[in-house]
Amino acid sequence: MDENIQNIVDSINNDSKYLDDIVEGLVISCCQDLDDYIAYVKRLLDDVDTPIADAELDDIVLTIPTLLYFTGNLQETLGIREDIARMEETNKYNQVLVNAEGTVQARQAYAKLQVQNESLATLVYQRACRKIKLRCDYASEILQSAKKILTRRISELELSKNSVNRNQT
């Protein structure tokens, strides 16, 4: 790879690492409990020698919606911050644009340069909200899977009871 391109890639990686850390901090502040619980579920699944017990499935079916409730509320709080960041970015852009001199294109370019930090703040909140939404979506998928397994087990139990009752008569 050309050295100039490598320098650009390295610079982008360094800048994105900084922003990734900020986004991840926001996400963790909202999703820590959900992440911990999903990690617990993953440990249950990883233990292939021990099937998940019905009581554990019941716990999953009850706990994940509770965690999603609180996580969703925190996601909405971040969404409000994203909206405010976007408004601040727009307001500053418009103020700079009005006060700038030169051609329309030059004023727009100057205004865009002046709101880079505000744009990054908006981006941080957007990415954090997306990551939280993805985690909630995946947790919902796990919840639906646990419900299906529990329903299947109940059906199998009912079938076996019916089978035993038929054999006794």
Higher pLDDT, 168 or 82: 82
Q: Where are the domains of the chain?
A: 3-162
For the cut 90, the answer to whether the pLDDT of residue 168 exceeds it is: no
Judged against a pLDDT cut of 60, whether residue 169 lies above it is answered with no
Dump pLDDT digits (tens) for 107-120.
999 999 999 999 99
Rounded Cα–Cα distance for residues 56 and 24 (Å): 29
The predicted pLDDT at position 164 comes to 66
Is 87 within 8 Å of 148 (Cβ atoms)?
no
Burial classification of residue 150, based on how many CB atoms lie within 10 Å of its CB (0-12 exposed, 13-18 middle, 19 or more buried): middle
Instruction: Give start and end residues of each alpha helix (H) in the chain.
Output: 3-46, 54-99, 104-114, 116-168
Lowest mean pLDDT among 9-18, 70-79, 116-125: 9-18
Give mean pLDDT, residues 118-131.
Answer: 97
- As given in the structure block, the two tokens for residue 147 are 């419900």
